[in-house]
Structure 1
Amino acid sequence: MSWYAVYTRSRFEDKVYTLLAQKSIETFLPKIEVWSRRKDRKKRIMIPMFSGYLFVDFPDLTREEHVNVLKTPGVVRILSKPHIIEPAPIPDAQIEAIRRLIYSKVEIETCLYPKVGEKARIIDGPFKGIEGIVMRTDYIKNLFVVSIDLLMRSVAIKLEGFQVEKI
């Protein structure tokens, strides 16, 4: 099987999922249960695990199938590698790992990594609580360089992904 990530318009994941299923396209929309705060109460709701994304399965993605998916209302594009037009397949092992996570019923919280130029807060280590600007990232090594102001000087600190959060 070859899975592909489909990027949708904001909050269109369920609609796109339904429309693709009506076209007999095997689709996977992983959802997680989270607490939602309403004006007067808290409530558990199901939301997409990856906001704006769902997955489609094609043994061999042809041009016609590609166009068929793109013509679906709410679909923006099928993800590809940078500077490459062909959609990038997602390994079955990654899809299977997502399925196991979803069905395990463990509490899952998705986190957004900060990008270069964005503000970040250090949440672990000796600089916990300090805010700064992300100067450099290395997603493969899970490293971030965050610039912080100390004594009227800017200092860059190398941090691991679990030590920073986007603010």
Structure 2
Amino acid sequence: MAESEAKWYVVHTYSGYENKVATDLKTTAENRNLQDMIIDVKVPVEIVTETVGDKTKEVENKLFPGYVFVKMVYTDETWYVVRNIRGCTGFVGPGSKPVPLTDAEVYRMGVETRSVKLNYSVGDSVRIIDGPLEDFVGVVEEIDADKDYVRVVVSMFGRETPVELELAQAEPIED
């Protein structure tokens, strides 16, 4: 089976067991020679600076407490391995059939990141190349590469309207 067939699935765990489930799943995949079937296991976190009194420290906060993301090729064997990890309560999906995440969900949730070559900047005119406003032209007002979004001001119905897009949904207009 190829990695191209692998999809991201969400596994529900007992609260506080996310890291244990992730490490146990990686270990079990190695022990059973399933590295080509269970490709990756992630617990998305964000680093937050907390201040208590006069002390500040950086803390990892889980973005989705109680959930672990698993990139795998879905078979009866991989289903069995994941379901039988201690602390795992099951896959997210109707009944016992897990539903894979779409590519858009994977990027939006921060499970995977994709690199977009940014060839425009604030003040440039861009054409929207995807979505309901496809082929509209606007001016870039704000760019946030970390959050994969750009704000473009588009003229529609005789008024300036700000529109938020993903970085890859706009391209510069060649003069």
TM tier relative to shorter chain: 0.5 to 0.7
Task: Please name the residue that 1:62 is paired with.
Answer: 75
SS at match of 1:54: strand
Task: Please name the residue that 2:90 is paired with.
Answer: 77
The alignment-based identity, stated in percent, is 28
Q: 1:12 aligns with which of 17, 21, 26?
A: 17
**Matched residues, number:** 101
Q: 1:91 to 1:105 in 2, by over 3 A?
A: same
Q: 1:74 to 1:105 in 2, by over 3 A?
A: farther
Which structure 1 segments of 5+ residues have no match? 107-167
Q: 1:7 to 1:36 in 2, by over 3 A?
A: farther
- Cα offset for 1:105? 5.5
For residues 40 and 68 of structure 1, the distance between their equivalents in structure 2, rounded to whole angstroms, comes to 46
For residues 20 and 40 of structure 1, the distance between their equivalents in structure 2, rounded to whole angstroms, comes to 40
Matched, 1:29 2:40: no
- Structure-2-length-normalised TM-score: 0.50
SS at match of 1:14: helix
SS at match of 1:95: helix
Q: CA RMSD in A?
A: 2.3
Task: Please name the residue that 2:102 is paired with.
Answer: 91
- Cα offset for 1:38? 4.5
Greater C-alpha Rg? 2
SS at match of 2:22: helix
Q: Please list the CA deviations of residues 89-143 of structure 1 after superposition, one character each: whole Å capped at 9, or x if unmatched.
A: 1113321331339xx666xxxxxxxxxxxxxxxxxxxxxxxxxxxxxxxxxxxxx
Residue identity opposite 1:49 in structure 2: L
Residue identity opposite 1:55 in structure 2: F
Which structure 2 segments of 5+ residues have no match? 1-5, 30-37, 115-144, 148-175
Residue identity opposite 1:76 in structure 2: T
Q: Please list the CA deviations of residues 38-84 of structure 1 after superposition, one character each: whole Å capped at 9, or x if unmatched.
A: 5663321112211111111122x122211211111111111113xx3
Q: 1:38 to 1:10 in 2, by over 3 A?
A: farther
Q: 1:11 to 1:46 in 2, by over 3 A?
A: same
- Structure-1-length-normalised TM-score: 0.52
Residue identity opposite 1:93 in structure 2: A
SS at match of 2:86: coil
Task: Please name the residue that 2:55 is paired with.
Answer: 41
Residue identity opposite 1:13 in structure 2: E
Residue identity opposite 2:42 in structure 1: F
